[in-house]
Structure 1
Amino acid sequence: MRKATDRALTKRLVDGLVLQAKAYPQFDANLAGFGVRVHPTGRKTYFVQYRNKHARSRWFLLGVHGTITVEQARSDAKAVLQAVAQGHDPADARTAFRRAPDMNELLNRYVADHVRKRNKPSVRAELERVVERYIRPTLGLLKVAAITRGDIEKLHRSMAATPRQANIVRAMCSKVFNLAEEWEYRPEGTNPCRKIARYPERHRERFLSAGELERLGAVLRRAEGEGLPWTIKAEGKATAKHLPGEQHRRTIYPRVVTATVELLLFTGCRLSEVLGMRWEHVDLAAGSILLPNTKAGRQQTVAINAPARRVLLALRPACIQASPWVLPNRSRVVAAGQEANETLGLERPQRSSDGPLKKDAMEAAWQKIRAVAGLDDVHLHDLRHTVGTYAGQSGANAFLVRDLLRHSDLSMTHRYVNQSEDPVRTLSDLVGQRIAASLEGGKTADVVPIRKLTT
């Protein structure tokens, strides 16, 4: 029932409403339930009051006077009352949406209940890094139920410069939203990653030539000997006066760093596998290294060739005194023997609980080593590519290369075997020579080398 004090709300009327000690409502005379509440602070908010289908009174906030006009508020109030007439409860729907989980909550559960329970430590670390660096900063505050395909497309498109990383983020988001449906955060069949095309990826085929390996070897010897020169990013009096003399602007790298590079090249192992090697798994007598945790998800064995054996023999006496790790970290100071630390190239003695050399530290050291060697486009994983390519060029078949690199199937191995032209030529010559000899009645055919065309 309309009260005698109800008046048609206009801007002039709302502006002129006086403040009181307590907040009070002023209803509109033309639209039942629509009004403005005047607060003692001077703030005035539009609302609409209604009863839902259960006869419960609800107050629905429309907006603040000055932010929206009286006409806008009245139009919104009509829309709310129309929804109520159809059996809906806008106030309850708004409350439910505000209480709905956001992406931060979903990502926390994804990491705790999926990533950490179903993946190896090295994989867990990488997945958590992607979540924290790319997904959470962009989507974290959005409601799970409100994420659209456009949100995922925008994130995917923002990473177009790094297509492989963009595809990884897209795949992880797809998994997150599949779990969101399974955990009833979203309705079935609403994964917003559907129909978002992956970026084409160009697989790296980089490997080191004999000349590049020679340069790298020279830089490794310099790194642990005289050291590598600093890179000075700023010049001028303010900076230069705090720098040591030019002859002292060098960093000497510990033997564990240069040994890591050598073991990557001699074994063809992945970086995580080399850094995770423990002496208890190295059998120099049998010439093998046991890898308990690998990408394949099972134990694997690596053959120790002569160069790798020399590296391990040089490290073993010192490392066993300092750490169970083949390539120990150098973070803390304990009494482990000065001689051991000098052999390892460590400035401070080691503790067995320190763990292995950190991946980030090795990556940072490689950035400097490759720059000095003129190998700016070479990644540490390309050293594994080098082993596979040299194996293929030596004439080994795909099965041998697969076993050397411990691939699960031949699809990855063919990339190395197919790069080998000389062994194919050699094989072709041998087959052709035998066939020609038979055709000529047993006379051995001469194989004439084909000159390489120059352009």
Structure 2
Amino acid sequence: MARLTRTFVDGLGRRDRTFIEWDDDLPGFGVRVTTTGAKSWVVQYRAAGGGRGAPTRRMTLGTLATLTSEKARGGAKDILATVRLGGDPANDIAKGREAPTIKELAPKFLRADAKVGRKASTLALYSLYFKVHILPAIGSKRAKDVTDAEIRKLHRQIGIDAGKPSTANRVVATLSGFFAWGTKAREIDRTDNPARTVDLFRETSRERYLTTEELARLGAALREAETVGLPHLVDETKSTAKHARKPENRRTIIDPHSAAAIRLLILTGARLREILHLLWTNVDLERGMLFLDDSKTGRKPIVLNAPAVQILSALSRVGQFVIAGRSAGTEEEAPRTDLHRPWRAITKRADLQGLRIHDLRHTHASVGAGAGVGLPIIGAILGHADAATTAKYAHLANDPVRRASERIGGDNAAAMGEAPPPPPDSNVVVPMVRVRQ
């Protein structure tokens, strides 16, 4: 034994068998020499605070090419100090290598029973985020080693590089839920949540409310689509135009169930899946009610107004679902998944490009707010679980603030000789003046 200086170690030659030369000054620190002459620094200790019964651990610190003798000695001292405090660095590294990756844990997180109360639609969205965004970027990383910097990088790639800030925010929220679940279920050995420190992008509101004139155009296009059909526009300058149908045959008629679905969305303010997954057993025409077994906010009743009752009464019952799909009436009947094709055709005809189906729900609420229906009632109609969700329609309400503004503006315009004053309104808010005693 001797002090392991670089000069001494360089002088060690290879032997018939691999051997370790131990340092004379620092017990447990040594250099291993293989039969080929390759040399590497090692540290050896007894776990669990030492003792004859404790298991022996040996760790490789690095090769002579990567570590000087002094750096290797310093690293060995740090490890041995950790051992004296009850640590077991070698075992910790071994456990780290066995720690599951995000890809290995994802199937457990995405099980339907992983979290009570999670909707099937939410689960499908989470699965999509993992498949498209999360797994390709950090799926091979051990969950316990993922850093907030890596999640920020993914967030920027989706939000800035791909131009999808809303999706980027949803992906981070999904990862936050993943780490919260993993630590609580003891599947991930960490105490922090790296997704919670990520600053989300500011999202602009996408709510759109149809005007009376736009609703009229939508209704006209809907009636045309279900009767004579919507015309196909053919570019006669293209060579393929000669193969197109004759002008009188260039029309597409949408089926009555698609038309009924769109009308019910407008008239009830229901969510798309609440209408597409609606069963005839959920419909009570006598009481004018829909009783949904499961919606985004749980069990939910929907009041049917007279126009909605009329639509449902006239609709043919093909299968168990109100909005019949291709599999209606068969043993493998399933609800329709979307209304993409008829919706695109109708909105194009009505010159309402960019209008989303969900905007019909916003329009339903906006009409109610403008008519003076209170926000709590609108929230009840839409099935909002949180009053804050309904509050976004407050600026549309015909409330005292709006009426007061109309009165003041009208008086000012009349004083300028540009408009007559508004008629007296007992509901106008009049400020009270304090009288000095």
Q: TM-score when scaled to structure 1?
A: 0.69
Report which stretch shifted further, 54-63 or 306-315. Answer: 54-63
Shift of 1:261: 1.2
> Contact conserved, 2:230 with 2:349, CA < 8 A, in 1?
no
SS of 1:274's equivalent in the other structure is helix
Give the structure 2 partner of residue 441 of structure 1: none
Give the Å deviation of 1:29: 12
Deviation of 1:208 after TM superposition, in Å, equals 0.7
Deviations 1:256-282 (A, max 9, x none): 222211110011111121112111121
User: How do 1:53-92 and structure 2 match up within 5 A?
Assistant: 53=46, 56=56, 58=58, 60=60, 71-72=65-66, 81-82=76-77, 85-86=80-81, 87=83, 92=91
Question: Are the aligned partners of 1:152 and 1:170 in contact in 2 as well (CA < 8 Å)?
Answer: yes
Amino acid at match of 2:307: P
**Match of residue 184 from structure 2:** 182
Separation (CA, whole Å) in 1 of partners of 2:88 and 2:262: 66
Show the counterpart of 1:439.
none
**For the Cα contact (< 8 Å) 1:9–1:28, is it kept in 2?**
no
Distance in 2 (alpha carbons) for counterparts of 1:45 and 1:323:
76
| 8 A Cα contact 1:83 1:89, kept in partner | no
The 5-angstrom pairing of residues 344-363 of structure 1 reads 350-351=329-330, 353-358=332-337, 361-363=338-340
* Contact map agreement 1:230 1:250 (CA 8 A) in 2: no
Query: What whole-Å deviation, never above 9, does each CA across 1:232-286 have from its counterpart, x for those lacking one?
Result: 9xx987xx49965475666543322222111100111111211121111212222
**Residue 52 of structure 1: SS of its match in structure 2?**
strand
Pair 1:98 & 2:74 matched: no
Give the secondary-structure state (helix, strand or coil) at the position aligned to 2:207: coil
The equivalent of 2:370 in structure 1 is 393
Range that drifts further, 415-424 or 203-212: 415-424
Kindly indicate whether residue 263 of structure 2 is the aligned counterpart of residue 262 of structure 1. Answer: yes
1:126-180, Cα deviation, whole Å (9 max, x unpaired):
3333333333332221111111111122222223343333333222222222222
Q: Residues 46 and 142 from structure 1, CA distance in 2 versus in 1: closer, same or farther, beyond 3 angstroms?
A: farther
User: What's the CA shift string for 1:188-228, capped at 9, x where partnerless?
Assistant: 64221233233333333311112212222233234344245
Q: Is the 8 A contact 2:61 2:75 kept in 1?
A: no
The percentage of counterpart residues that share the same residue type is: 27
Segments of 5+ residues of structure 1 without an aligned counterpart are 18-22, 39-43, 64-69, 333-348, 431-444, 450-455
Unmatched segments (≥5 aa) in structure 2? 3-7, 24-28, 47-53, 408-420, 426-437
- Residue 193 of structure 2 is matched in structure 1 by 191
What amino acid is aligned across from residue 210 of structure 2 in structure 1? L
Partners of 1:226 and 1:252 within 8 A in 2: yes
* Root-mean-square deviation (Å): 4.3
Structure 2 distance, partners of 1:353, 1:273, is 20
The alpha-carbon distance between structure 1 residues 231 and 296, as it changes in their structure 2 partners (threshold 3 A), is: farther
Residue matched to 2:414: none
Shift of 1:395: 2.6
Opposite residue 320 of structure 2, the aligned amino acid is P
Q: Of 213, 216, 219, which residue of structure 2 is paired with 1:211?
A: 213
For 2:171, the equivalent position in structure 1 comes to 169
Kindly provide the CA deviation profile for residues 61-99 of structure 1, in whole angstroms up to 9, marking residues without a partner as x. Answer: 958xxxxxx622666866764555444766544432221
User: Secondary structure, in 3 states, of the residue corresponding to 2:353?
Assistant: coil
2:276 partner amino acid: L
Length, aligned pairs only: 384
User: Following superposition of structure 1 onto structure 2, how do residues 50-449 of structure 1 map, counting pairs within 5 Å?
Assistant: 51-53=44-46, 56=56, 58=58, 60=60, 71-72=65-66, 81-82=76-77, 85-86=80-81, 87=83, 92-112=91-111, 115=114, 117-160=116-159, 161-186=163-188, 189-224=191-226, 225-227=228-230, 229=232, 240=240, 244-245=244-245, 247=247, 251-298=252-299, 300-315=300-315, 318-319=316-317, 322-330=318-326, 332=327, 350-351=329-330, 353-358=332-337, 361-363=338-340, 365-421=342-398, 447=423
The verdict on how the C-alpha distance between 1:33 and 1:372 changes in structure 2, with shifts beyond 3 A counting, is farther
CA distance 1:73–1:325, change in 2 (3 Å): same
Report the alpha carbon displacement of residue 297 of structure 1 after superposing the two structures with TM. Answer: 1.9
What is the distance in 2 between the residues matched to 1:171 and 1:365?
33
Q: Is the 8 A contact 1:122 1:272 kept in 2?
A: no
What TM-score do the two structures reach when normalised by structure 2? 0.72
1:396–1:230 CA distance, 2 compared to 1 (3 A): same
